[in-house]
Structure 1
Amino acid sequence: MVAITDLVLDQKNRELSLSFDDGRTIKLSCEYLRVFSPSAEVRGHGPGQEVLQVGKESVNIVAIEPVGNYAVRLVFSDEHDTGLYSWPFLIELAENKEENWQDYLNRLEAAGHQRQTS
């Protein structure tokens, strides 16, 4: 099982870099992390209760708070701070980034929303 060895926040580029014990580094945008937050506000309280996140293109991470040895709380510039990102969840987000992102874009399009590009 791969493990995360370091997290580095680049606020200028709005990216969080995850370094792994196998030598890989994967960059995740703050927008990606925000729209896939594990919080109930985003995920709902059960299947089918997910809330599509829109307008998060320019969101940034303003703080990373350790939660024991098992997770971090990411505090976003839109004041969202209720998701606990466990190490296995961050690994899953990193390893499935392309598929997750395409699914998000498809859901946005189906809902009639368009991302604002800068």
Structure 2
Amino acid sequence: MAGLSKNTPVPVEIKLHRKSRLLEITFSDGKTFRYTSEFLRVYSPSAEVRGHGPGQEVLQTGKKEVNINRIDPVGNYAIQLTFSDGHNTGLYSWDLLYEYGLHQDEMWQRYLRRMEEAGASRERPGYLSDWNGKPAVKS
């Protein structure tokens, strides 16, 4: 993904919806994207998640219930997100967030395929889902 160019739309509004765990960003070209906290966490641009080169990505598991606790601006080009699991090393530039918005559906499907191939779970270890799909702590 290319660096920030003068043609890259920039956010005009950023809203965090804590209950629904959504980050909503409206860009200067009028496009609005809604990202789940889980999506942004599993696609963190940090070296911890991406690795240090192609093929070194680390599959993030158990992030279904993760939330964003803090959003900090980084200059005029990015935000740093602090997640409820403590992760905070990724810088989300405007161009990255815009690209993520455009390609969110296929990225999410790729993530779900990788999880299935690995036999991994989006649920946090120690959690069970009760009959209505709400997380219930294992006793």
Alignment TM class, shorter chain as reference: over 0.9
Quote the Cα distance in structure 2 between the aligned partners of 1:85 and 1:103.
Answer: 20
Q: In the alignment, does 2:86 pair up with 1:89?
A: no
- The higher radius of gyration belongs to 2
- Which residue in 2 is equivalent to 1:66? 73
TM alignment of 1:26-105, pairs within 5 A: 26-105=33-112
Quote the Cα distance in structure 2 between the aligned partners of 1:16 and 1:67.
Answer: 17
Q: Measure how far apart 1:52 and its partner are.
A: 0.2
RMSD (CA atoms) = 1.2
Aligned structure 1 segments of 4 or more residues deviating by more than 6 angstroms = none
Q: Measure how far apart 1:3 and its partner are.
A: 2.9
Partner amino acid, structure 2, of 1:59: V
Partner amino acid, structure 2, of 1:47: P
Question: TM-score, length-normalised on structure 1?
Answer: 0.94
Aligned residues: 118
TM alignment of 1:3-14, pairs within 5 A: 3-14=10-21
Q: Measure how far apart 1:99 and its partner are.
A: 0.5
Percent identity reads: 54
Q: In the alignment, does 2:118 pair up with 1:106?
A: no
| SS of aligned partner of 1:72 | strand
